[in-house]
Amino acid sequence: MTAVPVVLASTSVWRRELLSRILADFQIASPDVDEQAYHKDGDSPAELAVRLAQRKALAVAEKHNDSIVIGSDQVVDLHGSILGKPETTDNAIAQLQSMQGQTHRLITAVCVISPQKTVEFSDTTTLTMLPLTKSEISRYVDRDQPLQCAGSYMIESAGIALFESVTTSDFTAITGLPLIQLGQVLRDLGVKLF
């Protein structure tokens, strides 16, 4: 197995926790990518997720070119409309009201750049939200404060109670990093897991 350093191109505590489940030793680097600038390019939700994961990985790989760099991003797709991070309580409530009683897709894209090659993949989760009142939504937002979460929910917390069903091939993708496929990619690159 190789001793090439692994760098997570993210400051997300959720992605850090997820990667630590399969990898004991890795570094963290902020990609410093203006995500909002890419939302204006007219990409489909799936294309935007991939592009943001690529940009994050590339930004960090420029400074860590002897490492394996992992970039990831998530996009919420509600009938072709992209829902980003709400930033404010009012925006979070509005987003959740638009999704209540609806089915949406959570697209999690990953870009892994190594000295050997670049690997990209995506995972799509389909989520159906319960019909909810504005009062229920407001109470939820007050509890979890999901202002930095695409789609305005934290399914790993109280947000799970917002949903009627969740269909996924990798539940870790919902939190931000699909570990099943990522683990396979890292093994293929010679990284020793656990």
- Which positions are annotated as active-site residues? 73
Beta strands in the chain (DSSP E): 6-8, 27-28, 68-78, 81-83, 103-113, 118-129, 163-167
Rounded to an integer, what distance in angstroms lies between the CA atom of residue 135 and that of residue 190? 51
CA-nearest of 28, 35, 38 to 6 is 28
Residue with tokens 């990953």: 110
Helices (H), 62-171: 89-99, 134-144
Whether 193 and 22 have beta carbons less than 8 Å apart is answered as yes
**Phi and psi at residue 55, in whole multiples of 5°?**
-60, -40
